[in-house]
Amino acid sequence: MTTYAVERWTRSGRVTVGAAAGVLLVLALLPTLATGLVIDKLTTLFIYILLAVMWNLLAGYAGLVSVGQQAFFGVGGYLALRLVDAGMTPYLALIVGAVGAGLVAIPISTFALRLKGGEFAIAMWVIAEVLRIVVMFDPLVQGETGTSLLALNAFDPDLRRNLTYWLGLGALALMLSATMWLLRSRIGAAAQAIRDDEEAAASIGIDVMRVKQIIFVLAAFGCALAGTIWLASAITFLPRTNFGVQWTVFMLFMVLVGGLKTFEGPIIGAIIFFLLQEVFGDLGVWYLTGLGVIAVGFALYLPDGLWGTWRQRTGIDLLSGGVMLKNPVTVKRAT
Amino acid sequence: MLDALIQGILLGGYYAILAAGLSLMFGVVRFINLAHGDLAIYGAYLVLFAVEVLGLSPWVAVASVVPVMALLGWLLQATLFARTIKGGFLLPLLTTFGLGAVLQNGMFGLFGSDTKSLGNHIGNLSWASWQLPVGISVGQLPVITFAVAVAVLGSLQLVLSFSKLGRAIRATSSDPEAAELSGIDARAVHRAAAAIAVALAGLAGAFLAMRALINPYAGPTQLIFAFEAVVIGGIGSLWGTLVGGIVLGVAQSFGATISAQGFQLAGHLVFLGVLGGRLYLAHSRNLGGWRGVLGMPALPLKSATQLKKVTSEGRS
């Protein structure tokens, strides 16, 4: 019998992580050099990447297509507002609010995760709508009018911008590492097994509900973090915007264009989405129509997205989610 | 109170027309068309266009838009949906969601952001009502909508039960491969089902525009309502969509008497309640009823003991 050595880190994987650490360091130091405009734009980009990675974690790796992730985006922001109103320091409230939204996701998960496919997708949407309506009953939010995180005005504008930027960068780095770690753990392998065949996964002893729950709550927390950072950069909280289904449309676009079921794809998709918005955003509705057309086109003709297709054509994989089985004679790859 | 009940029941007629198409697509082509609500709004804008620009009378406009919508459904199935249903359940959801975004923003670009209504083109029908003996008045338009819903579901039932197409649809929805083996072109059946579904969406949209104000982004809400009606009434059941529509309509109508937001909230809560109840029933059935849920041993079956008694008495 041959014993294989299990190798998780490919050479390209090590190089990529090293490069990512370098990029992180440069980005962390950037506020000392760049103008306020650049910092604001980059904060938005971080939010997009975070949303895309979280949606891909749900849909791509666990097969949970949710049209209701705006629920956590909105609830995170709302809880942060409530905490600030109760006297908490704004930046702490942004993080605690996101944790709160993650807790809200636990009871929702026990219900929603028992639904299948399209039912799950639309039930999540309905849940997001219910949460929006409930939040609008709160006098603090003032119904349709919305409210603002005025406590942030106590900070100097430049400091506020940089703090929000660092928070966004930190949240992104944290969630990317957590996702990477999770996907390489048993849970990640189990989630992909469930995605491909739920009954087969259950039959080999995977606790389907528990694995789905972990991924669902983590994705909810990530979306909520994006929501609170968005609140910090936009200041205003409008229930129809913060709980808007357009967030899910954006997530879907970024993941579909970049590449579903890949780790790098959503990041690339988010950068493309960000650039498209910078260039064509002024076109308004025709820009949004174009996004829809591109999304449908990718779904029809390039369902693996840009990165997925590139990986298939070239075999180049920066961050492998699988493992290498090595023995002295053969090198076999399994995913 | 009685007034809200009657209004809710009549509102159910509109939901039945809207939901029947969604249910048909789900039952036959086996995917949820997330653009269904947007297609309904698109149908409404086509009717508005026919009335305001082409100068047709409203009912003629509705009658001519329905076949156009059927053609659109046929084309969508032939070009878009047929390609996506091969890729599992994920791609149809993504594609139709994207299509919805295209329709919403495209309509915004073409027709503008103004809310519009057919209400001022149909004379006094939008507010006229009939007086019932007990002092209740019912709106004429809701009654007509409800009657059309019953007629639509009835004729759909006739088509499904007695026509060649109906047999093909039923065969395809219960087992597509076996149907193909029996010489049915499942893809043609899918196109026919999509044509009917989108035509019904357009008809529902026209009725919505007569009763209320619409705007290009009104579709997703209508999709949610249609889906709720389908789930409450039971997926894959034709008359179930009417029952589901009525339950949803009554819940919304009572919710609206409490607060303006209550209209949507009550409907959503009934939907989630029905889903939860269904999940609970399936769960407890797996574990042997409520005794299973509580971890109690199952009782011996009553009928079995009685049967034993009878046989033992017979022997003695």
The pLDDT mean for chain B works out to 86
Name the residue facing B87 among A117, A288, A303 (closest C-beta).
Answer: A303
Which chain A residues touch B105 with a CB distance below 8 Å?
Answer: 285-286, 288-289, 292
Show residues of chain A in contact with B87, CB under 8 Å. 303
Q: With an 8 Å Cβ cutoff, are A288 and B101 in contact?
A: yes
State whether residue A111 sits within 8 Å of chain B by CB. Answer: yes
Query: Between A228 and A2, whose confidence is greater?
Result: A228
pLDDT at B248: 96
- The verdict on a CB contact (< 8 Å) between A292 and B98 is yes
**pLDDT tens across A138-197, in order?**
988 888 888 888 888 888 888 889 999 999 999 999 999 999 999 888 888 888 888 888
Cβ-contact A159, A279 below 8 angstroms: no
Write down the H helix ranges in chain A. Answer: 11-29, 36-56, 62, 70-85, 90-112, 117-137, 157-184, 186-196, 198-203, 208-234, 239-242, 246-258, 265-280, 285-301, 305-314
Residue type, A146: G
Instruction: Specify the range with the lowest mean pLDDT, choosing from A173-187, B67-81, B115-129, B238-252.
Output: B115-129
A292·B100 Cβ contact <8 A: yes
Cross-chain residue pair B94–A299, CB shorter than 8 Å: yes
CATH number for A34-302: choose from 1.20.58, 1.10.3470, 1.20.120, 1.10.10. 1.10.3470
Residues of B with CB below 8 A from A117's CB? 32, 89, 93
Instruction: State yes or no: pLDDT of A90 exceeds 60.
Output: yes
Partnered with residue A236 across adjacent β-strands are A148
Q: Which domains does chain B have, with CATH numbers?
A: 2-258 (1.10.3470)
Is B98 in Cβ contact with A129 (below 8 Å)?
A: no
- CB-CB neighbours of A244 under 10 Å: 17
pLDDT at B268: 94
> What are the tens digits of pLDDT across the range B103-116?
999 999 998 888 88
* Cβ neighbours around A165 below 10 Å, total: 25
Is it the case that residue A322 has pLDDT exceeding 90? no
| pLDDT at residue A314, rounded to an integer | 82
What local confidence, expressed as pLDDT, does residue B209 receive? Answer: 93
Task: Characterize B55-74 residue by residue with b for buried, 16 or more Cβ atoms within 10 angstroms of its Cβ, and e for exposed.
Answer: ebebeebbeebbebbbebbb
Question: For residue A126, which residues of chain B lie inside 8 Å, CB to CB?
Answer: 224, 228, 268, 271-272
SS (H, E, C) B139-202: EHHHHHHHHHHHHHHHHHHHHHHHCHHHHHHHHHHHCHHHHHHCCCCHHHHHHHHHHHHHHHHH
Q: Which of A132, A94, A135 is nearest to A225 (CA)?
A: A94
Q: Return the pLDDT at A13.
A: 79
Which residue in A has a C-alpha nearest to residue B263's C-alpha? A133
Query: Cβ–Cβ of A289/B102 closer than 8 Å?
Result: yes
Q: Is A275 on the interface with B (CB under 8 A)?
A: no
| Share above pLDDT 70 across residues of chain A, in percent, rounded to a whole number | 92
Beta bridge mates, A326: A5, A331
Per DSSP, the three-state class of A28 is: helix
Report the percentage of chain A scoring pLDDT > 90.
Answer: 48
Distance of alpha carbon B79 from alpha carbon A282, whole angstroms: 31
Asked whether the CA dihedral B203, B205, B206, B208 is positive or negative, the reply is positive
Separation of alpha carbons B285 and B281, rounded Å: 6
- Residue A334 pairs in a beta bridge with A323
Average pLDDT over residues B284-290: 66
What pLDDT does residue B86 have?
A: 78
pLDDT at B303: 47
Using DSSP's 3-state secondary structure scheme, residue A331 falls into: strand
Least CA distance to B89: which residue of chain A? A117
Residue whose C-alpha is closest to residue B97's, from A293, A129, A241, A175: A293
d(CA B2, CA A173): 58
- Please write the tens of the pLDDT for every residue from B91-106: 888 899 999 999 999 9
Q: Please say if the pLDDT value at position A58 is more than 70.
A: yes
Across the interface, whether the CB atoms of B89 and A119 are under 8 A apart is answered: no
Q: What is the mean pLDDT of residues B52-56?
A: 90
Q: What is the token pair recorded at A188?
A: 């990640």
Whether the per-residue pLDDT at B259 is higher than 90: the answer is no
Q: What is the predicted pLDDT for the residue at B124?
A: 79
Q: How high is the mean pLDDT of chain A?
A: 88
> How does pLDDT run across A203-258, given as a tens digit for each residue?
888 888 999 999 999 999 999 999 999 999 988 899 989 999 889 989 999 999 99
* Spatial distance between the Cα atoms of B143 and B138, rounded to a whole number of angstroms: 7
ipTM: 0.84
Q: What is the mean pLDDT of residues B32-41?
A: 94
Of the candidates A283, A241, A262, A51, the residue with the CA atom closest to the CA atom of residue A136: A241
Least confident of A142-151, A272-281, B184-193: A142-151
**Binary contact (A117, B220; C-beta < 8 A):** no
Q: Are B121 and B214 in contact (CB under 8 A)?
A: no
* DSSP H stretches of helix in chain B: 2-24, 36-52, 58-76, 82-84, 90-111, 140-162, 164-174, 176-181, 186-211, 219-233, 238-258, 262-286, 289-294, 302-315
Q: With bands split at pLDDT 50, 70 and 90, how would you rate the model's confidence at B310?
A: very low
Question: Are the beta carbons of B226 and B20 closer than 8 angstroms?
Answer: no
| The predicted structure's pLDDT at residue B92 | 87
The pLDDT-based confidence of B297 (bands split at 50, 70, 90) is low
Whether residue A296 and residue B80 make contact (CB cut-off 8 A), yes or no, is yes
Checking if the pLDDT of B256 tops 70, the result is yes
What's the half-sphere exposure (Cβ side, CA atoms, 13 Å) at B262? 10
